[in-house]
Amino acid sequence: MMILLKIFPSDRFEKRVEERGIMIRDWAPQLEILEHPSTHSFISHCGWNSCIESITMGVPIAAWPMHLDQPRNSILITKVLKIGLEVQDWARRDEIVSAMAIEKACKKTDGDRRRRGDKAKSSSIRRCCQEVSNGRWSYSNGNGFLYCSYH
């Protein structure tokens, strides 16, 4: 947080965005943000809970995995379910990601969402949620996904 405050001194930054945005200094109410109609894409490290919340709310993910299960979850989101795009390949995780690359991924996920139409997207997302809630994805597909990934 201190690094961000040095890059964006809070007084000047807040003044610049006060008419068009808000600053959240504590834990953000992620589900409320994701369900808001103006949220068109979500930059995520692809932790499992964030993936499930984004899927549930029908918001495409700009995937930016860091470590642990996140690279696998990113593959699930971008390659298997096809409801998101990579910001940068995890194999290049040591490279600095430019603001332009992040902007491009967000615009592309938003553009993909608009091209497919909200109705089709909602249907696809609902189907994913049903599979997860019925345990079919988490158990059978998830085990198959992990098995194929490691063998």
3-state SS track over 65-80: CCCCCHHHHHHHHHHH
- The predicted-structure confidence for 96-146, as pLDDT tens digits, reads as follows 888 888 888 878 876 665 555 544 555 566 666 666 666 555 545 554 544
* pLDDT, average across residues 20-30: 77
Q: Do residues 51 and 44 touch, judged by C-beta distance below 8 A?
A: yes
Neighbours of 137 (CB within 10 A): 19
At 22, the amino acid letter reads I
Between residues 84 and 149, the one the model is more confident about: 84
Q: According to the model, what pLDDT value does residue 40 have?
A: 80
What is the residue whose two structure tokens read 């943000």? Answer: 33
* pLDDT, average across residues 31-58: 87
Q: Which CATH architecture has domain 2-150?
A: 3-Layer(aba) Sandwich (3.40)
Q: According to the model, what pLDDT value does residue 125 have?
A: 65
Please tell me the pTM assigned to this model: 0.63
- The predicted-structure confidence for 58-103, as pLDDT tens digits, reads as follows 888 899 998 899 999 999 888 888 888 899 877 888 888 888 888 8
Q: According to the model, what pLDDT value does residue 28 have?
A: 82
36: pLDDT strictly greater than 90: no
